[in-house]
Amino acid sequence: MQIIKTIELMQEVSEKWRMDGNIISFVPTMGFLHQGHIELLRVGREKGDRLIMSIFVNPTQFGPKEDYEKYPRDTGGDLNNARSAGVDAVFMPTVEEMYPEGFQSTVRLEEITQHLCGKSRPGHFAGVTIVVGKLFNITKPHLAIFGEKDYQQLIVIKQMVKDLNMGIEVIGVPTVREKDGLAMSSRNNYLSSEERASALSLKKGLDLARDMVAKGERNPAKIKNAVMELILNHPFTEIDYIALCNPEKLTDIKRVDRPCLLALAVRVGNTRLIDNVILREN
Ligand code: PAF
């Protein structure tokens, strides 16, 4: 497995792999890998001839009061996991390599970034799109693999790839959960054991909504209220948003009469967690 730190070398290696006729899969990460990432790597390995993973904690997608400085890091463990998952190259640049003095470009999506996390984390998606756009230009993949837990991120990237004619197939992979249902996330590491118990309220909320819809409830307000009540009955929880929306546009819906997205962002203590499910009528 090659460990590559410069943009120039990564581009050279990818270009050579392409010229040799390989399909390149790419899994971008911020490191501190968990089973969710391992699943993305598994899919990437299965679908491509060469698998590239990046590790880069991207400063431009964190707000000034967010957890950039304390974001968990474990390069040694990540490299071991990458090796076991059959990664061919890990791209791990420095911040200076990615954003040299004088850097000034942005990639901005106008609509789907205005909802959900885009509302509560202003500037977050501009940070995600610029870094992912750069990573795509550097690793030159045919396929890029993202988790469905970050549902909005997934559709923002799909839209960017379409709008900018990047010619990359973006693949979404279902959320991997702990045995008790908690969605895997590097940020779960911040939770105390009491907070960890309360964090289960997100999955319980999604399950409750699914049951309500299965039993015939079609009123978004009633579903959202029931989910809110369930979550707030758990200690340390504070709701950032509960949205029932159109899964492509992320705009609020008036009635659950077609597949819709239930997306949650909840603070548990100081940790902000997200989760989602697609609700269907049957
Ligand atoms: O999902 C993540 O870990 C990050 O947002 C990504 C896609 C690696 C961009 O920094």
Question: What's the CA-to-centroid distance between 30 and ligand 1, angstroms?
Answer: 6
Q: What pLDDT band is residue 122 in, cutting at 50, 70 and 90?
A: very high
Alpha carbon distances (Å) from 194 to 11, 253, 268, 275: 46, 35, 10, 19
Residue 282 in this model has a pLDDT that exceeds 90 = no
Ligand 1 centroid – CA 132 distance (Å) = 8
**Is 33 in contact with 78 (CB distance < 8 Å)?**
yes
**What DSSP character marks residue 113?**
G
Instruction: Give the CATH fold of the 2-173 domain.
Output: Rossmann fold (3.40.50)
Q: Enumerate residues lining ligand 1, CB below 6 A.
A: 28-30, 58, 61, 128, 131-132, 150, 153
- Please give the number of the atom of ligand 1 that sits closest to the Cα of 135: 9
215 token code pair: 């039993």
Q: Over range 254-272, report the average pLDDT.
A: 97
Q: Which tens digit of pLDDT belongs to each residue from 149-166?
A: 999 999 999 999 999 999
Q: Which residue has the tokens 């990564």?
A: 10
For range 186-193, the mean pLDDT:
96
Fold of 186-277: Pantoate--beta-alanine Ligase; Chain: A,domain 2 (3.30.1300)
CA of 154 to the centre of ligand 1 (A): 10
Rounded CA separation 140/191 (Å): 37
Q: Whose CA is nearest to atom 1 of ligand 1?
A: 29
DSSP letter (8 states) at residue 8: H
Which DSSP helix (H) or strand (E) runs through 95?
Answer: helix 95-98
- Nearest atom within ligand 1 for CA of residue 186: 3
CA of 128 to the centre of ligand 1 (A): 7
**Once rounded to an integer, what is the mean pLDDT over residues 113-138?**
98
Mean pLDDT, residues 165-178: 98
Q: How high is the pLDDT of residue 87? A: 99
Q: Whose CA is nearest to atom 9 of ligand 1?
A: 128
* Residues constituting the chain: 282
- Tell me the CB-side half-sphere exposure of residue 108, using CA atoms within 13 A: 7
Ligand 1 atom at minimum distance from 147 CA: 1
Q: Read off the pLDDT band of 79 (50, 70, 90).
A: very high
Measured distance CA(265)–CA(246) in Å, rounded: 17
pLDDT given at position 128: 98
Provide the b/e sequence for 79-89 (b: ≥16 CB within 10 Å). bebbeebebbb
Confidence of residue 281 (pLDDT cuts 50, 70, 90): confident
* pTM (2 d.p.): 0.98
Does pLDDT of 104 surpass 90? yes
Residues of the chain with CATH 3.40.50.620: 2-173
* In the predicted structure, residue 60 carries a pLDDT above the cut 90: yes
Tell me if residue 115 is catalytic. Answer: no
Number of the ligand 1 atom closest to the C-alpha atom of 61: 10
Pocket residue to mutate for ligand 1, from 29, 62, 125, 149, most atoms within 8 A of Cβ: 29
pLDDT at 179 exceeding the cut of 80: yes
pLDDT in tens, 9-31: 999 999 999 999 999 999 999 99
Nearest to 117 by CA among 108, 125, 109: 125
Pinpoint the residues of the chain covered by CATH 3.30.1300.10. Answer: 186-277
Measured CA to CA, the distance from residue 268 to residue 274 in angstroms comes to 11
